[in-house]
Amino acid sequence: MSAIIEIKNVSKEFKVLNRREGLKGSIKDLFSRDYKIVRAVDSISMNIQQGEIVGYLGPNGAGKSTTIKMMTGVLEPTSGEILVDGNIPYKNRTKNAQKIGVVFGQRTQLWWALPLIESFKILKEIYQIGDKQYDEMIELYKSLVDIEPLLHKPVRQMSLGQRTLSDILAAFLHDPKIVFLDEPTIGLDVSMKSKIRTLIQALNKKKNTTVILTTHDMGDVDALCQRIVIIDKGKMLYDNDIEHLKSFFGSYRTLKIRTGSSLKEDAASIQKQFPMFSVDSDDEWISILVDEDKSKVMDVLNTLQKSHDIRDMKLEEISSEEVIKKIYEEGVE
């Protein structure tokens, strides 16, 4: 079975002017031919099957958005091949647009002054959705989320969470084969994030829609993604499932302790004691990511008991968030 998205050795380069400082430099830049080539995406290859939810991850500036723009047909690759459902996106933009949906975090595709139902009706005409299919989608939405109070509410009066929810519904309205979600839950509260994740999962299962998700929220990844692809500086670092990734870090454990004094100050002190480990703190716990190939957890705990007033402790397996953080910092061999 052929993949819905096929990417073969795709690269994207941009020509960037080497700018000078000051007013004189700005004037000289008007006539300058001093350019450098920046490779935003560097020989990436992957196949994505129909119905997959793929987390496309990487630090800021890694090349995620550039790749998404090439898959949607906004940008043309410098080299390599992209096929989306058998079409070359930048050559068949209209045809490609009919098969995809896109949501960019905090950038709405809805009509600001109109009630949501009117935006849906406009999209119905734009995508030439049949009456039966449109009515079925609206009924499906009503069964999945409580959209009745939103349908007759102008978009400008919606909260950020309501608007994001509505944008995702709009992206799925024409029953696309692929939906690209770029930071869909950014800035939302815990309750709305959960509602949106449930909605995406349900639409993916009911419609077998392929979802490409870029996010920095590991809660989104753990809740939704069967597969993750990680890129950094334009190069692919990893392409597999999250559990396989965790197996690379089998020797890591997170030691969590609660002390009798300031957690923030104690965390800073522990970081000095153990500079080889990652130490963080929140309102309840100090978290120490221990590599047992370097030191056993019990040895670390015994050392800490001599220098700190430890009131409580617990031990956890390495979290997805810590795994991704370490890959961003160190890469994958």
Count CB atoms within 10 A of the CB of residue 242: 18
In a 3-state reduction of DSSP, which class is residue 203? helix
Residue 35 β-bridge partners: 17
What pLDDT score does 116 carry?
Answer: 94
State the helix-helix crossing angle for 131-144 and 190-207, rounded to 10 degrees. 140
Give residue-wise pLDDT tens across range 111-128. Answer: 999 999 999 999 999 999
Confidence grade of residue 331 (pLDDT, cut at 50, 70, 90): low
What pLDDT score does 132 carry?
Answer: 94
Per the prediction, the chain carries an average pLDDT of: 87
What pLDDT score does 317 carry?
Answer: 74
Give residue-wise pLDDT tens across range 224-281. Answer: 988 999 888 889 988 988 777 777 766 788 889 888 888 888 889 889 888 888 888 8
The token duo for 100 is: 């995809």
Span 251-317: which CATH code?
3.30.70.1150
Q: Which fold has domain 5-245?
A: Rossmann fold (3.40.50)
How far is it, in rounded angstroms, from Cα 108 to Cα 116? 12
Q: In the chain, what are the domain boundaries?
A: 5-245, 251-317
What pLDDT score does 151 carry?
Answer: 92
Listed in sequence order, the DSSP H helices in the chain are 22-29, 64-72, 93-99, 116-126, 131-144, 148-151, 160-172, 190-207, 218-224, 242-247, 263-273, 297-307, 320-330
Give residue-wise pLDDT tens across range 269-325. Answer: 889 888 888 888 888 888 888 888 888 888 888 888 888 888 898 887 777 677 777
Mean predicted confidence (pLDDT) in 52-79: 90
pTM for this predicted structure: 0.77
